[in-house]
Structure formats: structure tokens, C-alpha cells
């Protein structure tokens, strides 16, 4: 042992330390001293930013990007260098195979001076297709009446044709 370190040295250097034949026992890593309390580091949970559902990427984003890029006279490589993105990703976005992330869409908007992010359209559901729940549950009697009506319609329909 030389200055607290266990070393393999020659005889000349060994006189500067103490000769040890057995392994020193390492101190436990999680040893707790009686004077200092143990402090654990707790990492906070990663919180994802809220998703903004009021905007969306336009449906024809690929053609808009291609037209704007060609209008500025940029190749895929030039645009990739300008916005620090891979050329393969830009090609896939232009062909519509991949939709750009919101961050990339904003970057493309700024670089190409176009509008890709638009307000979200609310889907209108036709009122006729929405079935209203009956005010009460169906009973066996209701089912029998429906079956009788169906049979009656079938027999009247056959005689007319």
C-alpha cells in the first residue's frame, strides 16, 4: 500500500509503502453514517407538453412544401442543410409517406414562407345517423310486436309483387 493505493511495484519502490498480502475489505457502498442522514435524489416524472388539438397540419402539405421549395430554387439537399434535417425525411414528407411533426412543420413554414399549420376542422356528424336511446329498456313484448310487424310487412309485400 503506497499512500492508500494498492499497487504492484518493484522491490525498490516497495520501501515507500507497506507490504500487504491480503485483500483489503471494501467499504459497503450504501453504508450509512450515524451523523449524516441519507438523502435520495428523486427525479421528477417527465411531463409531456399538452397536445394542441385546435390546430392541425394541412392535408396537402407535401405538394405545398414541394411547390415552395421549387419556387425558391432549392434542392432537397439545400433545404436539408438550411433547416438541419435529413434529405430522406424531406423526400418522404413531400411524397406524403410521413407527416411532419409540429416542430418540423413550423420550421418548414419559416424556411419556405408557407402556411402548413391550419385551424382544426370540426367534424360534423349528421343528425339522422345518431340514434336516440329509448326512454326505457326493450321488453319481450316489444320484441314480439316488432317481429309481428316484420312478418306482416313481408306477407303484404309478397302479395303485391
pLDDT in 10s for each residue of the chain, 161 residues: 777 788 788 878 878 888 776 665 666 555 555 666 666 677 677 676 666 667 788 888 999 999 999 999 999 999 999 999 999 999 999 998 999 988 899 899 999 999 988 887 766 555 555 455 556 777 888 888 888 888 888 777 655 54
Neighbouring C-beta atoms of residue 76, cutoff 10 Å: 17
Domain that holds residue 73: 55-119
Beta bridge partners of 56: 118
Identify whether 124 is part of a domain: no
Q: At 79, phi and psi to the nearest 5?
A: -65, -40
Identify whether 135 is part of a domain: no
112: domain CATH number is 1.10.260.40
Identify whether 42 is part of a domain: no
Strand, helix or coil for residue 136: coil
Q: What's the rounded Cα separation, in Å, for the pair 18 and 98?
A: 68
Identify whether 9 is part of a domain: no
Identify whether 148 is part of a domain: no
pLDDT value, residue 158: 57
Q: What's the rounded Cα separation, in Å, for the pair 89 and 86?
A: 5
Identify whether 60 is part of a domain: yes
Identify whether 64 is part of a domain: yes
pLDDT value, residue 161: 47
Identify whether 112 is part of a domain: yes
Question: What is the number of structural domains in the chain?
Answer: 1
Amino acid at each position: 500500500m503506497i499512500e492508500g493505493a494498492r499497487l504492484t511495484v518493484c522491490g525498490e519502490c516497495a520501501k515507500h509503502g507497506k507490504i500487504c498480502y491480503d485483500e483489503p475489505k471494501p467499504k459497503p457502498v450504501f453504508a450509512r453514517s450515524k451523523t449524516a442522514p441519507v438523502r435520495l435524489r428523486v427525479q421528477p416524472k417527465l411531463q409531456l407538453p399538452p397536445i394542441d388539438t385546435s390546430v392541425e397540419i394541412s392535408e396537402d402539405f407535401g405538394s405545398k412544401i414541394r411547390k415552395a421549395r421549387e419556387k425558391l430554387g432549392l434542392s432537397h439537399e439545400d433545404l436539408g442543410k438550411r433547416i438541419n434535417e435529413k434529405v430522406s425525411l424531406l423526400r418522404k414528407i413531400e411524397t406524403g409517406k410521413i407527416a411532419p411533426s409540429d416542430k418540423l412543420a413550423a420550421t418548414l413554414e419559416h424556411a419556405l414562407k408557407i402556411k402548413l399549420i391550419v385551424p382544426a376542422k370540426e367534424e360534423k356528424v349528421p343528425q339522422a345517423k345518431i340514434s336516440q336511446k329509448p326512454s326505457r329498456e326493450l321488453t319481450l313484448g316489444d320484441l314480439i310486436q316488432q317481429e309481428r310487424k316484420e312478418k306482416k310487412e313481408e306477407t303484404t309485400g309478397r302479395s303485391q309483387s
